[in-house]
Chain A
Amino acid sequence: MYVFATFDHSNYLELAITAVQMKGIAKESILGISMDKKGEETKLFDSIHSSDGLSLLDLPILLATFFCLLGSIYGFVLTWGPVLWGIIGIIGGFSLGLIIKLITTKKYNNRQKSLKSPEVVLVIECKDEQMEMVKDLLWANYALGVRKLDLGKNE
Chain B
Amino acid sequence: MDRPESFSPVRRYIAYVSSLGTTQLHLRNPFVIACWSLAFPGLGHLLLSKYLRGYLLFLWEIFVNVNGHINLAILYSFTGRFQMAKDVLDINWVLFYIPTYIFAVWDAYRTTVDLNHQYILAAREDAEIKIFNISSIEINYLDKRTPWNAAGWSAVMPGLGQVLIHRIPAALFIIIGFIAISQQAKLLPALHYTLLGQFEYAKLILNPQWFLNSSSVYFFAIYDAYENTVSNNKLFDWEQTKFLKKNYQDKNFNMPFQKTDIQGD
Contacts and interface: CB of A to CB of B under 8 A. Distances in A.
B211 A48 contact: no
B223 A48 contact: no
A65 B248 contact: no
Contact of A55 (B32, B199, B211, B234): B32
A119 B233 CA distance: 13
A96 interface: no
B6 interface: no
A144 interface: no
B125 interface: no
B247 A46 contact: no
B64 to A, nearest CB: 18
A28 B216 contact: no
Interface residues of B, number: 54
B233 A34 contact: no
A31 B250 contact: yes
Interface in B46-75: 74-75
A132 interface: no
A119 B236 CA distance: 12
A68 B256 contact: no
A73 to B, nearest CB: 5
B199 A84 contact: yes
B124 interface: no
Nearest to B40: A65
A9 interface: yes
A14 interface: yes
B230 interface: yes
A81 B200 CA distance: 7
A51 B233 contact: yes
Interface in A39-95: 45-52, 55, 57-58, 61-62, 64-66, 68-70, 72-77, 79-84, 86, 90
A100 to B, nearest CB: 14
Contact of A69 (B144, B190, B212): B212
A130 interface: no
Interface string A21-38: 000000111111110000
B253 interface: yes
Interface in B197-225: 199-200, 202-203, 206, 208, 211-212, 215-216, 219-220, 222-223
Contact of B216 (A31, A48, A65): A65
B77 to A, nearest CB: 9
A72 B240 contact: no
Contacts of A138: none
B240 A14 contact: yes
Nearest to B192: A83
Contacts of B215: 65, 68-69, 72, 86, 90
Contact of A84 (B79, B148, B194, B223): B194
Given A83-B191, A149-B256, A30 B248 contact: yes
A86 B202 CA distance: 13
A11 B143 contact: yes
B244 interface: yes
A69 B216 contact: yes
Given A27-B248, A29-B253, A81-B190, 8 more contacts: A17-B248, A28-B253, A33-B244, A49-B233, A58-B29, A65-B220, A125-B254, A125-B256
16 contacts: A2-B256, A29-B253, A30-B248, A31-B250, A32-B249, A49-B233, A51-B231, A51-B234, A58-B29, A61-B219, A73-B74, A74-B79, A82-B206, A82-B208, A83-B191, A125-B256
Interface of A: 2, 9-11, 13-14, 17, 27-34, 45-52, 55, 57-58, 61-62, 64-66, 68-70, 72-77, 79-84, 86, 90, 119-120, 123, 125, 149, 151
Nearest 9 CB-CB pairs, A to B? A32-B248, A32-B244, A34-B241, A68-B215, A81-B199, A83-B194, A65-B219, A28-B250, A9-B237
